[in-house]
Amino acid sequence: MFLFRRGTARLTPIQAHQRTTGGAVVLLDVREQAEWNTGHAPDAVHAPLSRLAAGTALPAAAEGRPLVVVCRSGHRSQQAAKLLTGRGIEAVDVKGGMNAWAAAGLPVVDARGSSGRIT
């Protein structure tokens, strides 16, 4: 069963937030560690694109679940979604990335769980 309509290329941040609330769909953040540390969505799972591209497995929290992929501006997340769908994983990306997420007023936390920022 696909939660995303085939051919769905991108979601807005609001759509991504709605789809990932409740845990059936995972928000996968593919930015590098320093970017993640300064600000990410509270329930996101972290897996840098550099590691995914090198063949590293998904984190256990993302295994076998549909993914909404996010980065800073939307470029890396598009690459990651394409890479993941090529591996048979259901994935779409967030248009505008975490920049658009924060601009939409959606929550951002840092590595300590405090109010974060997007860098």
Q: Two tokens at 91?
A: 């994935």
Which CATH number fits the domain that encloses residue 27? Answer: 3.40.250.10
In a domain, 64, yes or no: yes
Q: Beta strands 91-94 and 45-46: pairing type?
A: unpaired
Name the DSSP class of 69.
Answer: E
Residue numbers annotated as active site: 71
In a domain, 113, yes or no: no
* Predicted structure pTM score: 0.93
In a domain, 30, yes or no: yes
Please list the residues that pair with 69 across neighbouring strands: 28, 93
What value does the mean pLDDT take over residues 26-52? 97
Percent of the chain with pLDDT over 70: 93
The yes-or-no verdict on residue 1 having pLDDT over 70 is: no
Percent of the chain with pLDDT over 90: 89
In a domain, 116, yes or no: no
Could you give the number of structural domains in the chain?
A: 1
Structural domain of 92:
10-103
Q: What is the pLDDT of residues 11-20, one digit of tens each?
A: 999 999 999 9
In a domain, 111, yes or no: no
